[in-house]
């Protein structure tokens, strides 16, 4: 990857300048027509591409994807600045001040020796900030973004209510609930009922992940990647034998699947 002698700050300034030029009169037609709303999908896509790069362990690719992701807040800040709402400097001030304010054990006299103590202090400071702004007390789950992917939202919901004691005390109870929901799904009367029961089953499965200290979203992403690898073996093995997938049949594909599985 090409490196320049400019400092990170100078490189960031150049990114901001490039974005301003793209949005300026006579700039790029596509960039000029974007809005906060239209950019939302790109922010999500770039986030998942960063996750893919992390999963692959390709660090040069990760650097590239982080750059793509970094463009998104710069883009949003440029759009906001043109509307007189805020600029990229305001966003940087906000995060810098927040990090200092919520780490008094680093930038002040407070003490926190474990990650759990840091998290508790962070949550307490966050709640105090809201009170000081005169914000009305929010419902417990209001802080869980509805725009999260469903698995991540479910895990956050479970974690939030667990903090106030609304949780299964023992993991065996979660397994029992999983069996109960599976049985109810089997008895579903129609597709609408099946959708409801399947949702319940998935919600319990995500809570089981939480009890196992597993990130459900990442676990499913890894399962998807594993399926891709194994099915790619099925496809390539059959192709090497001159057999099309559509002609192979389930038994033959299963044989190749087991080959891929045994190879890990």
**DSSP assignment of 64-130:** HHHHHHHHHHHHHHHHHHHTTS--HHHHHHHHHHHHHHT-HHHHSS----SHHHHHHHHHHHHHHHH
Residues 47 and 70 in one domain: yes
| 45 occurs within a structural domain | yes
| 2 occurs within a structural domain | no
Residues 19 and 83 in one domain: yes
Percent of the chain with pLDDT over 90: 81
Vertex 108, ends 102 and 111: CA angle to 5°?
80
Residues 27 and 46 in one domain: yes
| 178 occurs within a structural domain | yes
CATH code at position 46: 1.10.287.1080
Assign 11 a pLDDT band (cuts: 50, 70, 90): very high
Residues 47 and 85 in one domain: yes
Q: How far is CA 89 from CA 15, 31, 85, 97, in A?
A: 13, 21, 12, 12
Q: Say whether 32 sits in a helix, a strand or coil.
A: helix
Residues 12 and 96 in one domain: yes
pLDDT exceeds cutoff 60 at 261: yes
* Contact by Cβ (8 Å): 31, 20: no
How many residues are present in the chain? 264
Residues 125 and 158 in one domain: no
Instruction: Report how far residue 8's alpha carbon sits from residue 67's, in angstroms, rounded to the nearest whole number.
Output: 12
Instruction: State which residues form the domain around 128.
Output: 104-137
| 245 occurs within a structural domain | yes
| 1 occurs within a structural domain | no
Residues 244 and 209 in one domain: no
pLDDT exceeds cutoff 90 at 127: no
Q: Please give the model's pTM, rounded to 2 decimal places.
A: 0.69
Assign 3 a pLDDT band (cuts: 50, 70, 90): low
Domain boundary among 120, 137, 154: 137
Q: Say whether 172 sits in a helix, a strand or coil.
A: helix
pLDDT tens per residue across span 81-118: 999 999 999 999 999 999 999 999 999 999 999 999 99
Residues 182 and 108 in one domain: no
Q: How many domains does the chain have?
A: 4
* pLDDT score recorded for residue 134: 76
Domain boundary among 73, 101, 129: 101
Instruction: Dihedral sign for Cα 182, 184, 187, 192, please.
Output: negative
Residues 110 and 133 in one domain: yes
Instruction: Report how far residue 129's alpha carbon sits from residue 83's, in angstroms, rounded to the nearest whole number.
Output: 27
| 201 occurs within a structural domain | yes
Instruction: Dihedral sign for Cα 148, 151, 155, 158, please.
Output: positive
């Amino acid at each position: 990857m090409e490196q320049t002698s400019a400092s990170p700050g100078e490189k960031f300034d150049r990114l901001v300048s490039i974005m301003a030029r793209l949005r300026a009169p006579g700039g790029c037609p596509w960039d000029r027509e974007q809005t906060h709303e239209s950019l939302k999908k790109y922010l999500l896509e770039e986030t998942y591409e960063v996750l893919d790069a992390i999963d692959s362990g390709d660090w040069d690719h990760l650097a590239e994807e982080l750059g793509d992701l970094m463009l998104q807040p710069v883009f949003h800040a440029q759009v906001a600045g043109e509307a007189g709402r805020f600029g990229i400097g305001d966003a940087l001030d906000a995060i810098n001040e927040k990090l200092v304010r919520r780490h008094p054990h680093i930038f002040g006299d407070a003490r926190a020796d474990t990650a759990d103590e840091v998290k508790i202090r962070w949550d307490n400071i966050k709640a105090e900030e809201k009170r000081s702004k005169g914000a009305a007390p929010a419902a417990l789950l209001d802080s869980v973004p509805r725009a999260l992917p469903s698995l991540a939202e479910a895990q956050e919901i479970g974690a939030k209510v667990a903090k106030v004691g609304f949780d299964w005390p023992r993991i065996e109870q979660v397994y029992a609930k999983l069996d109960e929901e599976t049985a109810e799904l089997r008895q579903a009367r129609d597709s609408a009922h099946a959708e409801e029961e399947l949702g319940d089953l998935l919600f319990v499965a995500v809570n089981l992940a939480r009890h196992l200290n597993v990130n459900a979203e990442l676990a499913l992403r890894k399962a998807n990647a594993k399926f891709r690898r194994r099915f790619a073996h099925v496809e390539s093995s059959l192709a090497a034998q001159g057999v099309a997938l559509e002609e192979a049949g389930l038994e033959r594909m299963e044989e190749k699947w087991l080959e891929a599985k045994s190879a890990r």
